[in-house]
Amino acid sequence: MLTAEYKMKVAFIQLLLVSLLVARTNSFTLRSWEESYALANAVTAQMTMDEKIGIVTGTGQLNSKRRCVGETTPVSRLGIPSLCFNDGPAGVRLTKGVTGFPTGINTASTFSRRLMRARGKALGEEFRGKGIHVYLGPAMDIMRNPKAGRAWESFGPDPFLNGEGAFETITGVQSVGVQACAKHLVANNQEHWRYGLTATVDDRTMHELYYYPFLRSIEADVASMMCAYNRVNGTSSCHNADLIGPTGLIQRDGFKGYVVSDWGATHDSASDNANAGLDMEQPGDYILIGGGVFGSGLKSAVNSGKVTVTRLNEMVSRILAPYYRLGQDSGYPPVNFDSQKSDGSGSLNLNVNVRSEEHTALAREIASASAVLLKNTRKTTTGTPSGTTTSGLPLSLSRIKSIAVVGQDAKMPNLKCNDLNECNDGTMSIGWGSGSNSLQFIVPPIDAINSFVGKSATITTSLSNDLNDGVNAAKGKDVALVFVNAMSGELGFYDIVVGNQGDRNDLNLWWKGGSLVERVAAVCNNTIVVVHSVGPVDLSWSNHPNVTAVIYAGAPGEQTGPSIVDVLFGNYNPSGRLPFSISENEADYGTKIVYDSLGFPEIPYTEQLLIDYRYMDSKNIVPRFEFGYGLSYTTFAYSGLSITPSGTSQVVKFNVANTGVFAGTEIPQVYIAYPSSAGEPKRVLRGFEEVPLDVGKSSSVVITLSQRDLSIWDVQTNSWVRPSGAFTVYVGASIKDVRLTGSF
């Protein structure tokens, strides 16, 4: 019998070996697709029927030996391990020792390709360090409606911004040898009825709006795609040949990886799914809503000829090709965690820590860069935070001597909710569900404020949303910092959180947050509000004269406290921009969430291309804060617009200068209006750039509009066609704040 001491020594050695593997360089040799398929085909040819079935079928949700969210059966004799699939878009889920990165919607708010890619690379490094082969992300579901429960996992309602977020994230993740999985294909835009609703989408709308980010993911050479729960035009996504089949949407655009089902998203027969283009089923067994199709029927379907051996071989090869392409066959760390014991108590959990100072700093930078300054009454006249007044931002501890921190969103959240963050009783850093991430290292705002302020000012707190307590704390203070939030998440097997079942019930702040702001502002003439939210919320109180500044901080991940302190006290000049419009009236968005139905509903996308700012433009609706909007502590001037042809593209050049008193980053945006005959929205985003500038400095900005940027999807020729006629180019700081205009 092994002694306890011996077991401990063995465990220590195992941990040491895994740590050494994790510490190894993430470098690898990227193979071509041709070489990868040659290797995959050669290995597939040596497999037995049962081995092939094990590659294309998950090992089961109810498998007690499962260590990852999804796994396949290894073929040890051929050197093929169990492939490990794990959530989620914003960090490694169901384990400790990982970074809680900012969400997709916050990453979009940076309008920074640099940070999008850096976040992807950091995510890939942590997934690799945990031995995970497939990062289940990024999510790129368009925010069709502002209340959509999981829209915070993706990059917003604009297809161009969403597509850039997808492209850069995938490029970053796969740069360290981890497979990315683009999800959820496609028109997966609400949580209610998601397991069987039909999204009815016309061909042009599909290509230009909902499918466009997936097209960009193909251009990033994404390893895999996940088909969604919902039906598209009447057919379940995972056996929808028009989407995933040999002549379907993704194959026509050159997708070379494999299609994996969402967990339990398969229905009907094994042959229906395999012949339609599904390559892998996860988790492999039936989980109340579906699944268990391949495991129970694929072998017999092949034996009976309903699925050809050629098709089965293709499925296996498509799965193995990205494995070889990204060098996962050599020096890849073994799985070192146990997703079924995320608290670290599992015997298979080695508690390997993949965090780093670089990742923490990056999470903090993205959280700061995604903070959107919506209102600021302060007009600074010097290059220091002191300025000429104590109201507004940035705050100065040389002038502010008493601070009230109000609202439960400022305090530490309940870390015992479970791994899905199914509660909202503290600061809101991320939504709930399978896209959530670890809160093990979260730093709430109150802790960061106390640490930064120290003894320089007195701090009075009311860390609840009790209206009277908030008022009492704020009376007579130099500044009141009010923290409010709104949350959403995944439907499925997750709890109803404060009466919200995935999708939000409305656009209100939770816990009477709007009333809290108004009551505090009534007694403090320097009330600064920080909003943590998964999407647009009612900000009708923002016009209150005593509300001197408003920061929309979104869902910023674990570094929520330090990042907001950086912005509040001027250590980081805000540069975030809204990746959606903010309006109090849900009707201003032109879509609805279908809550009540006698069965799985059909949802016709009759608004077609007109969602969010596109719809508002078409109806001459002026939102409270428009798409692309965001203030800075400094000011910028635009000049010198030129537009010149370059082959089939147009090159847009202009200058941006920092005319204020702080160094800062401007986010110039390029919108185009198509010729009137094209039938497009009034204006659409087609370019953006991140331009850091010191005081008094200027920079030339070049944004190239490609042939496709200038094209529409022509349903007659099934191709991108550039319409003839005059195009108008709008350059500015938001869709409404246009600084330069030109045409070609």
Residues with Cβ within 8 Å of 132's Cβ and at least 6 positions away in sequence, in order, are: 68, 84, 85, 86, 92, 178, 335
Segment holding 564, helix H or strand E: helix 560-568
Catalytic, out of 158, 221, 262, 538: 262
Give exposure, 378-397, as e/b (b: 16+ Cβ within 10 Å): bebeeeebbbeebbbbbbee
Q: Which residues pair with 466 in a beta bridge?
A: none
Q: At what angle do helices 49-56 and 293-303 cross, to 10 degrees?
A: 140
**Shortest CA distance to 556 belongs to which of 567, 548, 546, 545?**
567
CA gap 474, 520 in Å, rounded: 6
Q: What is the DSSP letter of 74?
A: -
Residue 725 CA from chain centroid, whole number: 36
Q: How far apart are CA 381 and CA 215, in angstroms?
A: 47
Q: What is the dihedral of CA 570, 575, 580, 582, to 10 degrees?
A: 40
Q: Is 253 known to be catalytic?
A: no
Q: For residue 485, what are its two tokens?
A: 């939030």
Rounded Cα gap, residues 664 and 563, in angstroms: 16
Residue 209 is classified by DSSP as: I
Which of 599, 594, 590 shows the shortest CA–CA distance to 189? 594
Q: Max CA-CA distance within the chain? A: 84
Return the HEC string of 218-277. HHCCCCEEEECCCEECCEEHHHCHHHHCCCCHHHHCCCCCEEEECCCCCCCCHHHHHHHC
Phi, psi of 376 (to 5 degrees): -160, 115
Residue 196's contacts (CB-CB under 8 Å, 6 or more residues apart) are: 229, 230, 231, 236, 600
Contact assessment for residue 484 and residue 553, using Cβ atoms and an 8 Å cutoff: no
The alpha carbon dihedral of 524, 528, 532, 538 has a sign of: positive
Using CB atoms within 10 Å of the CB of residue 441, give its burial: 0 to 12 exposed, 13 to 18 middle, 19+ buried.
Answer: middle
Q: Are 426 and 446 in contact (CB under 8 A)?
A: no
Two tokens, residue 627 = 């798409």
In our burial notation (b when 16+ CB lie closer than 10 A, e otherwise), range 727-741 reads bebbbbbbbbebbbe
**426 vs 487: CA distance, rounded Å:** 11
Angle between helices 467-474 and 513-521 (to 10 degrees): 30
Positions marked catalytic: 262
